Amino acid sequence: MSKAILFVYGSLKRGECNHALIADQRYLGPAMTAAKYRVVDLGQYPGLVKDERNGVSIRGELFKVSECSIAELDDFEGSPEHYKREPIEVVGFEGTVEA
């Protein structure tokens, strides 16, 4: 089964309320996005958006996540209606990272 690298920045981080959803996945460590993003208030949850002009670096964590976990997370988060998982740039990480 293939794995994806996932950047988490909100309730999926270690110690947060929804971390149990990825607690069995491999934690890779803390991470920062390139200064091209913003976290916006979407009411009940935050959203990461690309902002090339006024973006900042966002702190988060990287996990190596199975395809099965990605599917469960997409369902939990309401993808694609409520959010869209897509590649982002993470400082010091070579390869594809999704958020």
The catalytic residue positions are: 77
Give the pair of three-digit tokens for residue 56: 């900042």
Q: What CA–CA distance (Å, rounded) separates 53 from 74? A: 29
Q: How far is CA 14 from the centre of its chain?
A: 12
